[in-house]
Amino acid sequence: MNHEGYREKKQHGAPDFPMEYYDIDVAHPRYEMQLHWHRELEVVRVRQGALHLYLNNTEYVLGAGELALIGSGVLHRADPCDAAYECVVFHLNMLSRQASGRIGDYVLPLLGGEVDQKRLMATPDLASTLSRLIDCLCTAQPYYELEAYSLVARVALLLYRGGCIRPGSRTDHRRHMMAELLHWIEKNYAAPITLQQLAEIAKVSEKYLCRFFKEYTGNSPIDYINRLRVERACLSMSEEGKNITEAAFENGFNDISYFSKIFKRYKGMTPREYRGTRIRI
């Protein structure tokens, strides 16, 4: 599947240690995980509440203590329900820097397939190893890099032994169309966008566009765009120190009252409250 345009651009970890831990609660600007993908694998573990995780449009509901492993290249998003959750994103090239030789022969298939979540949960050793990997990155005790490396290698081994990797279906037309549409929105979200424009890009009717868009994202196209704008406004305020007006206008809102209304709908607080009391990043 060619969805390169909607690939997450953030580098996770360092070039010589490509893995990173994230602790996410309601105060985090990316509390609701928007639809995206990356070449790295990602393990998600719920600490409290429930997380509705969507992997290539298949829903998995994770409760406290449960986890999932997201394969390379898989379109995914998550809707938290009073949840706090942890993520570790890691690239398997840490096992084989050039993905060549004997180890590379094992790594490459793992970068081209999807994880069978039912098999994963039915393999206690694999689930336990993934959980240990999260704990390792979270606590970062002395020599944790060595432990993390060994755990990633064991994850790869157990994925093979447990038969948890299935070939990816990257040629699916609907997913390709969705990825292209998301790429366009990502580039143009700060400008005015209409349903007619989106339908023309996807080469479908507006009615069909709304139906399949909601299947993948859980939102109508307009809701999705507004959520994206609010998320980016949060990042503008928390990471760039922008004031409310700057954050609104730079991210597609040309009316402060409307921005405040939409912001409160999605974040449960006003922009002023968020900027004043919730900036932790």
**pTM of the predicted structure, to 2 decimals:** 0.70
Could you give the CA distance from residue 245 to residue 118 in angstroms, rounded to a whole number?
A: 47
From first to last of the 281 residues of the chain, give the pLDDT tens digit.
334 333 454 546 566 788 999 999 988 888 889 888 887 899 999 999 999 999 888 899 999 999 999 988 788 999 999 999 999 999 887 786 544 567 767 776 777 667 887 788 778 899 999 999 999 999 999 999 999 999 999 999 998 888 887 755 444 567 677 878 888 898 899 999 999 999 999 889 999 999 888 887 878 999 989 999 998 999 899 888 899 999 999 999 999 999 999 999 988 899 999 887 654 44
Q: Domain residue spans in the chain?
A: 4-167, 173-277
Query: For residue 162, which amino acid is it?
Result: G
SS3 content of the chain, % helix, strand, coil (to 5): 50, 20, 30
Superfamily of segment(s) 4-167: Jelly Rolls (2.60.120.10)
Q: Where would I find the beta strands (DSSP E) of the chain?
A: 19-24, 33-36, 41-55, 58-62, 67-70, 76-90, 113-115, 165-167
CATH code for the domain defined by 173-277: 1.10.10.60
Pairing relationship of beta strands 76-90 and 41-55 according to DSSP bridges: antiparallel
Contacts of residue 45, defined as CB under 8 A and 6 or more positions apart, other chains included, come to 65, 66, 67, 85, 86, 87, 130, 131, 134
Could you give the CA distance from residue 103 to residue 118 in angstroms, rounded to a whole number?
A: 26
Q: Scan for tokens 């996410």, then name that residue.
A: 24
Q: CB–CB of 152/95 below 8 Å?
A: yes
- First CA to last CA distance, the chain: 33
Give the three-class secondary structure for 68. Answer: strand
The DSSP letter of residue 93 is G
How many Cβ atoms are within 10 Å of 64's Cβ, its own excluded? 14
Could you give the CA distance from residue 10 to residue 211 in angstroms, rounded to a whole number?
A: 30
